[in-house]
Amino acid sequence: MKSRREFTILKIFILLPRNKEDPENAYLSVMKLLIISLLLLAIHCSVSLAQIINDQPLSERITWYSIDATLDPDEKKVYGSMDAYWINNSDDVVPDVQMHLYMNAFRSNKTTFLRRPGSSTLRWQQGEGCIDIKSFSDRQGKDLLGNVQYIRPDDGNVYDSTVIRVMLPDPVSPGDTFRVKISFETRLPLISWRTGYNDDFFFVAQWFPKFGVYESEGMRYAVKGAWNCHQFHKESEFYSNHSLYEVSITLPAEYVAGSCGMLMGETLNGEGTKTISYRAEDIVDFAWTAWPGYAVYKDTWKHVNITLLIPPERSNQAERQFRAVKYALEYFDENAGPYPWPYLTIADPPLKGIGAGGMEYTTLFTTISSYLMPAFILTPEQVTVHEFGHAYFMGIIASNEFEEPWLDEGINSFWEQRIMDHYYGPGYGFINHPLLKIPGKAQSRISYVNSPLRQIVSNAEYSWNYPQKTYAMMSYQKASVIMQTLMGIVGEETINEIFREYYRLWAFRHPSGRDFINVVNDVVSRIHGNTFGTDMNWFFDQTIYGTGICDYQVTGITNSKNPHPGDITVLPDSSGSDVSVHGPMYTSTAHIHRAGSVIMPVDVLIHFSDGSEITEKWDGKDRYRDFTYSGNSKIERVKVDPGLKLRMDVNFVNNSKAIDRNKVPVKRLISKLNTFIQFYLSFILL
Ligand SMILES: [Zn+2]
């Protein structure tokens, strides 16, 4: 999702025998089961495991969904019939399944989502935005609807019905598959929080019952096996297994549709409707959009067929969108890992559907453009690059966005800004106008540095626990600035190696923040040895898991003229004669202060009046540090962190100091004013 700053998803189960057989019937039973199993396996292989999109499965695929959906554009409803399974790949006997019913977040204004302060701005209407389970049965057709109960694992809010728990008549043993058939009815909301309708525009997301993630012991932070299935919160995103999706959508024939899936076929049904079939492999969610007004543009990048759905009046923006997404595809491919799917759909909603803009669904994302947007404002490109980036962070590397949003939004914002500055200009990846240039990376820093709430909480919070108005600043911007700072310390190529390794180890899995940090530790020590210590935990303990600020400052420069710099007699030289040499004219000191609690290694640049320079490597640990020199030239200016690598430093203005050589008061004043303006701009924009 894009933060507010721009505008603010067998037909088979394999049921192994668990009940003890009567000995005399054992042989017969085993043979029967073997035949059934082989038969089912054959069906399984022919349907679910068949590779259609990629040659090999990319993920474990422990969940699968087949959904027949019908859109009723007048009633603003989607009628769904779903066949799905979940494979218990843990060592636990699991007594229940838990599923998300995200759409119920809008069922009343007392839901956990809508009672969050600030939700009053959403255009919520009573009776809109809900999902009703009409039937729920297991593989044998046993009706389990009576076993469906709402649970509220996060806050106990009895008005919230976004998570269901279904106790199963037969627990799911390790290796077994639970298969379910559900019919449901989803009433879409007036477009709100990236899903819903407006007039004849539809963006259908978070619309079907979806399995939570069963985390076995040792997975992420799980100390024992349990479902990870959080309620839908306003300030939170999602967490899902990589799945197979086979979705067919029936809708009026005049609608133009796009989805997370690859188009498998389209049939006209008569009576003005058509059915579109999609398939998706190894993605974490399935969303779709439909609107009669979309114009369709197509482009390609290497193996990827890109489809852009855009209002016809914005056709002049298509080229900007294609260029941006191809830059992002290229940059991720070179510096992290391949984009594995052969297709990608970009939906650029019309104005009436703008509430759906700026959201990611891996192989489908939404952007926000405007035909009025001047070329020097790169917001449309930025949104596109950002939302595409989630194909990596969230899609391929599927962290738990509920619990560790920084792993997704923060890291993705960091990549977005790198890509913008790389392709559109290092100093102007956000705004590129002759009179105003703002780099992409500046946006995170502006938000973090200028937030009065920057120290009230660390990034070790579940997304909905961030105190008011700090979720976006902490999850997106501070986390991005932390990553920028890490890059400043270890270097850009090391950062790329970290992400190549992260991709190699964790693609199509579910890493935790600690897993990411372990990758950082391994790669940094491989490349840099002990240059930064035995590991980088000191960095993350202070930044992600800390609330301190980083602020190094130059407090002063002292140049003392030696009282007797003249002739000083020293030891005799090799000839035995005493030699008189000139003593140093000056004793000069640069006074540095660590004003924040965060300790980082930092360079200190000392510039002398004769033009010479010394760069001191300081571990940054002491509260105060003096660098003293004796020589015939004075210290003229001092810069702590001259490369401004420590982008967490909350105040770049105090990073420099110079002695004042202007004796004329007016000149001095102008000089100071000029210096102030430059420092102010660097403070705001860098
Ligand atoms: Zn995002």
Read off the pLDDT of residues 121-167 as tens digits, 9 standing for 90 and up.
Answer: 566 777 789 999 999 999 999 999 999 999 999 999 999 999 999 99
Q: Which helix (H) or strand (E) holds 443?
A: helix 442-449
Residue 681 pLDDT level (bands cut at 50, 70, 90): low
Contacts of 491 (CB under 8 A, 6+ apart): none
User: Do 424 and 285 share a domain, yes or no?
Assistant: no
Q: Which of 332, 349, 381 is the last residue of a domain?
A: 381
Residue 43's pLDDT is what? 43
Residue 674's pLDDT is what? 64
Residue 17's pLDDT is what? 29
Measured in Å, residue 404 CA sits from the centre of ligand 1 at: 13
Q: Give the single-character DSSP code of 21.
A: P
CATH label of the domain that carries residue 448: 1.10.390.10
Residue 23's pLDDT is what? 39
Instruction: Check: CB of residue 285 under 8 Å from CB of residue 213.
Output: no
Measured in Å, residue 461 CA sits from the centre of ligand 1 at: 18
Measured in Å, residue 226 CA sits from the centre of ligand 1 at: 27
User: Do 211 and 70 share a domain, yes or no?
Assistant: yes
Asked whether residue 393 is domain-assigned, the answer is no
Question: Whose structure tokens read 């609107």?
Answer: 291
Highest mean pLDDT among 39-43, 52-56, 561-565: 52-56
Average pLDDT across the chain, whole number: 89
**What is the distance between the alpha carbons of residues 629 and 613, in angstroms, rounded to a whole number?**
12
pLDDT at residue 503 is higher than 80: yes
User: Do 518 and 611 share a domain, yes or no?
Assistant: no
User: Do 62 and 204 share a domain, yes or no?
Assistant: yes
User: Do 422 and 537 share a domain, yes or no?
Assistant: yes
Residue 680's pLDDT is what? 57
pLDDT at residue 4 is higher than 50: no
Asked whether residue 456 is domain-assigned, the answer is yes
Measured in Å, residue 626 CA sits from the centre of ligand 1 at: 43
User: Do 443 and 514 share a domain, yes or no?
Assistant: yes
**What is the distance between the alpha carbons of residues 157 and 100, in angstroms, rounded to a whole number?**
15
Measured in Å, residue 374 CA sits from the centre of ligand 1 at: 23
Tens of pLDDT along 266-318?
Answer: 999 989 999 999 999 999 999 999 999 999 999 999 999 999 999 999 999 99
Measured in Å, residue 476 CA sits from the centre of ligand 1 at: 8
Asked whether residue 398 is domain-assigned, the answer is no
- Measured in whole angstroms, the distance separating CA 216 from the mean position of its chain's CA atoms is 24
Arithmetic mean of pLDDT, 600-607: 98
Return the higher-pLDDT residue of 321 and 663: 321
User: Do 502 and 514 share a domain, yes or no?
Assistant: yes
Instruction: Check: CB of residue 347 under 8 Å from CB of residue 318.
Output: no
**What is the distance between the alpha carbons of residues 124 and 116, in angstroms, rounded to a whole number?**
13
Arithmetic mean of pLDDT, 573-580: 62
Return the higher-pLDDT residue of 45 and 69: 69
User: Do 516 and 556 share a domain, yes or no?
Assistant: no
Which 3 state secondary structure label does DSSP give 452?
A: coil
Measured in Å, residue 391 CA sits from the centre of ligand 1 at: 10
pLDDT at residue 573 is higher than 60: no
Measured in Å, residue 542 CA sits from the centre of ligand 1 at: 24
Tens of pLDDT along 103-118?
Answer: 999 999 899 999 887 7
Q: Which of 318, 349, 381 is the last residue of a domain?
A: 381
Measured in Å, residue 79 CA sits from the centre of ligand 1 at: 29
Return the higher-pLDDT residue of 22 and 281: 281
Asked whether residue 455 is domain-assigned, the answer is yes
Measured in Å, residue 376 CA sits from the centre of ligand 1 at: 23
User: Do 297 and 285 share a domain, yes or no?
Assistant: no
Residue 6's pLDDT is what? 40
User: Do 285 and 299 share a domain, yes or no?
Assistant: no
Measured in Å, residue 385 CA sits from the centre of ligand 1 at: 10
Six-digit token pair at 154? 């996060």
HSE (CB half, 13 Å, CA atoms) of 124?
A: 22
Q: Which helix (H) or strand (E) holds 69?
A: strand 63-72
CATH label of the domain that carries residue 163: 2.60.40.1730
Residue 440's pLDDT is what? 87
Residue 35's pLDDT is what? 45
Arithmetic mean of pLDDT, 576-585: 69
Measured in Å, residue 416 CA sits from the centre of ligand 1 at: 9
Measured in Å, residue 149 CA sits from the centre of ligand 1 at: 32
User: Do 237 and 308 share a domain, yes or no?
Assistant: no
Measured in Å, residue 212 CA sits from the centre of ligand 1 at: 21
User: Do 206 and 285 share a domain, yes or no?
Assistant: yes
Q: Which of 381, 397, 416 is the last residue of a domain?
A: 381
Measured in Å, residue 88 CA sits from the centre of ligand 1 at: 30
**What is the distance between the alpha carbons of residues 489 and 10, in angstroms, rounded to a whole number?**
50
**What is the distance between the alpha carbons of residues 225 and 147, in angstroms, rounded to a whole number?**
21
Asked whether residue 388 is domain-assigned, the answer is no
Give the structural domain span for 278.
10-21+30-291
pLDDT at residue 11 is higher than 70: no
Measured in Å, residue 19 CA sits from the centre of ligand 1 at: 48
Measured in Å, residue 557 CA sits from the centre of ligand 1 at: 45
Tens of pLDDT along 317-368?
Answer: 999 999 999 999 999 999 999 999 999 999 999 999 999 999 999 999 999 9
**What is the distance between the alpha carbons of residues 420 and 5, in angstroms, rounded to a whole number?**
16
Query: 398: exposed, middle or buried (C-beta count within 10 Å: 0-12, 13-18, 19+)?
Result: buried
Residue 9 pLDDT level (bands cut at 50, 70, 90): very low
Residue 415's pLDDT is what? 98
Measured in Å, residue 685 CA sits from the centre of ligand 1 at: 22
Measured in Å, residue 396 CA sits from the centre of ligand 1 at: 14
**What is the distance between the alpha carbons of residues 352 and 294, in angstroms, rounded to a whole number?**
13
Which 3 state secondary structure label does DSSP give 595?
A: coil
Asked whether residue 389 is domain-assigned, the answer is no
Measured in Å, residue 196 CA sits from the centre of ligand 1 at: 19
Measured in Å, residue 449 CA sits from the centre of ligand 1 at: 20
Asked whether residue 399 is domain-assigned, the answer is no
Q: Which of 524, 490, 518, 487 is nearest to 505 (CA)?
A: 518
Measured in Å, residue 278 CA sits from the centre of ligand 1 at: 25
Q: How many domains does the chain have?
A: 4
Asked whether residue 194 is domain-assigned, the answer is yes
CATH label of the domain that carries residue 371: 3.30.2010.30
Measured in Å, residue 117 CA sits from the centre of ligand 1 at: 21
pLDDT at residue 24 is higher than 60: no
Question: Whose structure tokens read 């819903």?
Answer: 196
**What is the distance between the alpha carbons of residues 56 and 58, in angstroms, rounded to a whole number?**
6
Q: Which of 278-287, 636-645, 655-664 comes out lowest in average pLDDT?
A: 655-664
CATH label of the domain that carries residue 576: 2.60.40
Measured in Å, residue 438 CA sits from the centre of ligand 1 at: 20
Measured in Å, residue 683 CA sits from the centre of ligand 1 at: 25
pLDDT at residue 634 is higher than 80: yes
